[in-house]
Amino acid sequence: MAALLDLVRKLIDYGKELAATLDQRAAGNPYFTVLTFGTNDLAVILARITRGLQRAAALEVRIVRACGRARPDHRACPQRPVAPPTPPMPRQPVARPSAPRAQTLPSPLSTEDQIAADRRRPIGAVIADICRDLAIRPSHPLWREIQSAINRCGGSYLRLLKDVLKTHFQLAAELIAPPEPPTPLLPSSAPASTGPP
């Protein structure tokens, strides 16, 4: 349980750092937001990060309570205050290339009902959804820990991996697709004139 709690706290720290540096990352690489989140709409991205952080904070509380029930000595699962994080909004818009195609994204805001439903779902499934919200990919340093936690706690690591690959292959295909060829002009059906009679 302590390793699981540590992983959730690392996800929270990563989500906060991602929200705080989103502008810098996007300015340094104009394709970062499109390639990572499938959109360049910062409001949608920040809403997704916020939802992931809210889910992670609720999961942290759930695990801490489970630790308290399982172990009378709370030092094994130390509690820390959990406040719903509020990522900063971008200060200045940055010119961004347009996304290849508007990708259908999940509803950007997490409602109380969604978080309440997460309490009844397997912890591994909630962790997978947090990874989707924070756009965590196999290259992320936490990926192996995430894979292990999802498999141990009732989630589907293969479904998460399939979603990640589907999103990235679709975006890659759209980015490298050749442009549509111009439509050829059809010959006029009017008879050619040879000059005055």
Domain ranges of the chain: 2-75+112-176
Distance CA 124, CA 189 (A): 67
Residue 164, pLDDT score: 79
Contacting residues for 98 by C-beta, under 8 A, at least 6 apart: 40
Mean local confidence (pLDDT), 103-123: 68
110 φ, ψ to 5°?
-90, 125
pLDDT tens-digit map of 55-65: 999 999 999 98
Q: Is the pLDDT of residue 84 over 70?
A: no
Residue 52, pLDDT score: 92
Q: pLDDT averaged over the chain?
A: 75
Helical H segments across 38-154, by residue range: 42-70, 112-120, 123-133, 143-152
Residue 77 near residue 141 (C-beta atoms within 8 A): no
| pTM metric for this prediction | 0.65
Angle at 11 between CA 94 and CA 67, to 5 degrees: 155
64 φ, ψ to 5°?
-60, -40
Q: In Å, how far are 107, 187, 193, 194 from 190, measured between CA atoms? A: 55, 9, 9, 12
Mean local confidence (pLDDT), 42-52: 90
Q: Among 40-49, 83-92, 149-158, 184-193, name the one with the lowest average pLDDT.
A: 83-92
Distance CA 137, CA 168 (A): 10
Based on the number of CB atoms within 10 Å of its own CB, is 161 exposed (0-12), middle (13-18) or buried (19 or more)? middle
Q: Pick 134 or 88 by higher pLDDT.
A: 134
Q: Is the pLDDT of residue 133 over 70?
A: yes
| Residue carrying structure tokens 């004139």 | 193
Mean local confidence (pLDDT), 85-90: 53
What are the tokens at 116?
């309440």
> pLDDT above 70 covers what percent of the chain?
62
Pick the closest to residue 25 from 84, 102, 96 (CA basis): 96
Mean local confidence (pLDDT), 87-114: 51
